[in-house]
């Protein structure tokens, strides 16, 4: 395998924010907003915030915002 083939083999599709996308159409890395999580999980945003507040859903603070790592979204709702 030459260098060009090796680079192509490890490249992923990317979304509009530049995050690598898996075959299922959801990002592999980065952080999701509560709205993105609620869409994926088919739950109300208030339920997502309640899960974050109770510690059931891992999140990170970015200023006043909360974000959920896509790895956590995948573990909880996509596996």
pLDDT in tens, 66-75: 999 999 999 9
Our count of domains for the chain comes to 1
Tell me whether residue 7 is in a domain: no
Tell me whether residue 50 is in a domain: yes
Give the closest residue to 52 by CA, choosing from 76, 30, 26: 76
Tell me whether residue 46 is in a domain: yes
pLDDT of residue 19: 85
Torsion of CA 30, 77, 24, 16, to 10 degrees: -30
Tell me whether residue 62 is in a domain: yes
Distance CA 21, CA 29 (A): 8
- Judge whether residue 16 has pLDDT over 90: no
Three-state DSSP at 64 gives coil
pLDDT of residue 10: 64
- Judge whether residue 61 has pLDDT over 90: yes
pLDDT of residue 6: 47
pLDDT band at 44 (very low <50, low <70, confident <90, very high): very high
Q: Which helix (H) or strand (E) holds 51?
A: helix 45-54
Q: What is the pTM of this model?
A: 0.77
Range of the domain at 70: 15-78
């Amino acid at each position: 395998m030459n260098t060009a083939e090796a680079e192509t083999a490890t490249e992923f599709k990317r979304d509009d924010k530049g995050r690598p996308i898996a075959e299922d159409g959801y990002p592999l890395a980065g952080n999701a907003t509560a709205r993105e999580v609620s869409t994926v999980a088919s739950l109300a945003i208030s339920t997502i915030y309640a899960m974050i507040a109770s510690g059931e859903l891992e999140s990170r603070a970015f200023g006043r915002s909360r974000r959920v790592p896509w790895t956590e979204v995948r573990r909880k709702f996509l596996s």
